[in-house]
Amino acid sequence: TKAQIGVTGLAVMGSNIARNFAHKGYTVALHNRSIAKTDALIEQHGSEGSFIRTETVEEFIAALERPRRVLIMVKAGAATDAVIEELAAAMEPGDIIIDGGNALYTDTIRRERALAERGLHFVGAGISGGEEGALNGPSIMPGGPAESYKSLGPLLESISAHVDGEPCCTHIGPDGSGHFVKMVHNGIEYADMQLIGEAYDLMRKALDMPVADIANVFREWNSGDLDSYLVEITAEVLSQVDAETGKPLVDVIVDAAGQKGTGRWTVKSALDLGIPTTGIAEAVFARALSSATDQRKQAQGLESGTLSAAPTDTTTFVDDINKALYASKVVAYAQGFDQIAAGSAEYGWDVAPGDLATIWRGGCIIRAKFLNRIRDAYAENPELPSLLLAPYFRTALEDAVDSWRRVVATATTMGIPVPAFASSLSYYDALRSERLPAALTQGLRDFFGAHTYQRIDKPGTFHTLWSGDRTEVTA
Ligand code: NBP
């Protein structure tokens, strides 16, 4: 028998996805650059399903039924290009190469073009869910030609997570769209984690709560509006006690956050598209600041000032933090969806935001109950100008706004950094402002650079003769 799918790159993600395919009844051809990983998989899990062990790319390709489908799960970047080149040389027109790694979407666009010229289909598929998701059901965001989804879709959907009977996998759009939305997904994940971190920090520093109590608060929140994987695992991490010192584990972990690049890519793309993805940007910068350990060390002892309006009631303030977290999270998602809409327009992808809300409900790291609300919002109005303006979220934000302001004000007087809470509140306030100081910015730009401005009371473009008699002329 031949295999319906081949997986090359059998590190943690690839081997778990290969097992997931096998568990669903598919015969899976296995390949890895070094044979050790292939053998380890066969030895430890060979009895879980039908696998074909292969050593060379030629053997691997020969083991597949046609059209061949090969999923690449190697380190993103140059390794992916090397593997694609080897596979493409051995494959035939009509065959499908799927890249399930965290590729940069512009690489995916380039690769699809090059492979299409050789008659091969290339599908850049964002896969989220980490190790556990890969094995038991990830959220899958495949781009590439619609035609290849016909043959590939059923396989991918069968291994994906399911929520209410629906797969967490759908065709996102052409070429790089799948990896683009996966990138923004990761950006939202950064924002989500930063907001959770700020909520935790406030409970610690403004309320002096023991870590174990904070863990309980998150556990409780996980049964309300904030019900989500990240809130759930926050309770787990905060409950962990270090065996060596007996302290909460979080107190012995170095407070410098790492990053692999998808958050940075999201912000770079947001800058290029001109979309104010401020929540994600604050989260990426907060990680960078946390890692500036030497600078931070030298800044120890800077005075915090004399203001300090500590909250008087713990229960009330914890509830305020809950609302601030929810509202800021809605802002982060609203901004992420704006970026996806802009990317979709820029590249002609026609991405349906409601589909994303649907497939992010399960399997992925940002899975959350509130994605049902986002899905409903786009079902009701696919042309929503902003997620914030969907009736449900509008009401939720208006209900939360006093709490949100109290949290940011308290943090500010106490000298507790809340970049993501504060910037999302400012975003909310800027968006709802009738007039912004951008009018002054335009005046300044016209003054020093003759960049011109428009008037609110008549059409046309104008310039003031700032260095002359200061009369206004039509530009
Ligand atoms: P890694 O990203 O650590 O990659 C290891 C794999 O790449 C091994 O199979 C290795 O082969 C292979 N490889 C490398 Br490195 N260079 C190669 C080359 N030049 N030619 C052929 N193969 C090469 O594995 P991972 O953590 O399982 O992630 C796989 C992909 O999935 C990545 O793109 C990652 O960004 C993405 N992803 C990861 C997660 C996660 O939670 N880890 C989640 C979602 C997506 P070898 O065994 O011979 O060294």
Identity of the residue numbered 217: V
Closest CA to 111 of 88, 137, 93: 88
Residue 401 to residue 426: CA distance in whole angstroms: 11
13 lines ligand 1 (CB under 6 A): yes
The pLDDT tens digits of the residues spanning 457-470 come to 999 999 999 999 99
79 lines ligand 1 (CB under 6 A): yes
Mean pLDDT, residues 303-319 taken together? 94
Give the per-residue pLDDT at 32: 98
Give the per-residue pLDDT at 377: 96
8 lines ligand 1 (CB under 6 A): no
Q: Compute φ and ψ for 72, nearest 5 degrees.
A: -95, 125
* SS3 label, residue 70: strand
Give the per-residue pLDDT at 106: 97
Q: How far is CA 234 from the centre of its chain?
A: 17
The pLDDT tens digits of the residues spanning 371-400 come to 999 999 999 999 999 999 999 999 999 999
In this structure, the residue with its CA closest to atom 22 of ligand 1 is: 33
Whether residue 76 is annotated as binding a ligand: the answer is yes
Ligand 1 center to residue 420 CA distance, Å? Answer: 32
Residue 19 to residue 239: CA distance in whole angstroms: 31
Give the per-residue pLDDT at 53: 97
In the structure encoding, which two tokens stand for residue 298, read together? 């030298």
75 lines ligand 1 (CB under 6 A): yes
The complex scores an ipTM of 0.98
Ligand 1 center to residue 194 CA distance, Å? Answer: 26
Nearest atom (ligand 1) to Cα of 8: 9
> Is residue 387 classed exposed, middle or buried when 0-12, 13-18 and 19+ CB atoms within 10 A define those classes?
buried
Is residue 456 over pLDDT 90?
yes
261 lines ligand 1 (CB under 6 A): no
In this structure, the residue with its CA closest to atom 47 of ligand 1 is: 34
In the structure encoding, which two tokens stand for residue 237, read together? 């991490």
In this structure, the residue with its CA closest to atom 15 of ligand 1 is: 75
33 lines ligand 1 (CB under 6 A): yes
The pLDDT tens digits of the residues spanning 166-205 come to 999 999 999 999 999 999 999 999 999 999 999 999 999 9
Nearest atom (ligand 1) to Cα of 103: 33
74 lines ligand 1 (CB under 6 A): yes
Mutating to test ligand 1, I would choose from 31, 41, 74 the residue with most ligand atoms within 8 A of its C-beta, which is 74
Mean pLDDT, residues 290-318 taken together? 95
Whether residue 79 is annotated as binding a ligand: the answer is no
Is residue 308 over pLDDT 90?
no
Mean pLDDT, residues 304-331 taken together? 96
Nearest atom (ligand 1) to Cα of 74: 7
Closest CA to 28 of 70, 89, 84: 70
- Token pair 């950064």 in the structure block, residue: 190
Give the per-residue pLDDT at 195: 98
Mean pLDDT, residues 248-276 taken together? 97
Mean pLDDT, residues 273-287 taken together? 98
Other Cβ atoms closer than 10 A to 178:
31
73 lines ligand 1 (CB under 6 A): yes
In this structure, the residue with its CA closest to atom 13 of ligand 1 is: 74
Q: Are 269 and 256 in contact (CB under 8 A)?
A: no
Q: Hey, which residues are catalytic here?
A: 182, 189
At residue 184's C-alpha, the angle toward residues 386 and 281, to 5°, is 80
Average pLDDT over the chain, rounded to whole?
97
Mutating to test ligand 1, I would choose from 19, 33, 71, 75 the residue with most ligand atoms within 8 A of its C-beta, which is 75
Mean pLDDT, residues 207-212 taken together? 98
The pLDDT tens digits of the residues spanning 12-68 come to 999 999 999 999 999 999 999 999 999 999 999 999 999 999 999 999 999 999 999
The pLDDT tens digits of the residues spanning 96-154 come to 999 999 999 999 999 999 999 999 999 999 999 999 999 999 999 999 999 999 999 99
Model-level pTM?
0.95
